[in-house]
Amino acid sequence: MATKDEDVRSRTSLNMDSRTAAPPMQPRVMVPKGPANAGPIGLMAFGMTTVLLNFYNAGIAESGTVGLIACYGIMHGGFVQLLAGMWEISAGKVFTGTAFTSYGAFWMGLGLFDLLIVTNNLVPGDISEGKCVWLCIWGTFTFMMFMGTFRANRTVQFVFLSLALLFFLLAGGVYSDTVHKIAGAVGIVCGGSAMYLGWAELMNEVYQRDMIPIFKIKWQ
């Protein structure tokens, strides 16, 4: 027969076991997947604005479109793409963060420059040589970025290579209307490919499978 002290110790042990044992029904813990992919936002902002500008460069859109391009370039191609770049940087994606931030700043600067000209607050003289150098610098930067896409998919590679070509053609177009119009056609293709890539990334993420091909390379 158990003594009084043994009975107390037995009840204490049972109480401790009941406190440490896992309850029969545990709530399901949702583990966060990490930061969302801001790529589609940046790609759409870049692609749509690039297409709009190059419809004008190709001579398809009328000259009055410049004001629209300037405002849209500052807000969508510029500000939204800049935000996408910051989100990518915060997610640890240095390449896409650098690309979106840089091209976002490019669009904001270009939009502001055009807007000041439209409002007659800026009347620059002959800036042909400076504009040509400026576009060549951006073409060089873009080609350097293209060299960082060798392990990416073919669509990313096409976007950067066609964009580098676009900048160099625009630089040549400073002195030739024909080259400028050719640059416009290349720009429409480049912007369209960026929109396609953004749409593909969005759809593939929504459906969690490769619905839209982005032409991955073997080691991906």
Find the range with the poorest average confidence among 26-35, 77-86, 147-156.
26-35
Q: What is the DSSP string of 36-68?
A: ---HHHHHHHHHHHHHHHHHHHTT-S-GGGHHH
| pLDDT at residue number 153 | 95
Which DSSP string corresponds to 74-127?
IIIIIIIHHHHHHHHHHTT-HHHHHHHHHHHHHHHHHHHHHHHHHTTS------
For residues 195 and 48, give the distance between their C-alpha atoms in angstroms, rounded to a whole number: 7
Give me the percent of the chain exceeding a pLDDT of 70.
84
Q: How far apart are CA 181 and CA 187, in angstroms?
A: 10
95-119: pLDDT as tens digits: 999 999 999 999 999 999 988 988 8
Tell me: the pLDDT tens digits for 54-66? 999 999 999 889 9
**80/2: higher pLDDT:** 80
pLDDT confidence tier of residue 86, bands split at 50, 70 and 90:
very high
Least confident range from 23-27, 85-89, 143-147, 185-189: namely: 23-27
Dihedral (C-alpha) 107, 110, 114, 117: value to the nearest 10 degrees?
150
**202 or 11: which leads in pLDDT:** 202
Spatial separation of the C-alpha atoms in residues 83 and 78, rounded to whole Å? 9
pLDDT at 32 (0 to 100): 46
d(CA 179, CA 166): 10
Under the banding of pLDDT at 50, 70 and 90, the label for residue 35 is confident
pLDDT score for 132: 97
pLDDT in tens, 150-195: 999 999 999 999 999 999 999 999 999 999 999 999 999 999 999 9
Please give the residue that has the higher pLDDT: either 116 or 218: 116
What pLDDT, on a 0 to 100 scale, did the predictor assign at position 199? Answer: 98
In this predicted structure, what is the pLDDT of residue 25?
A: 47
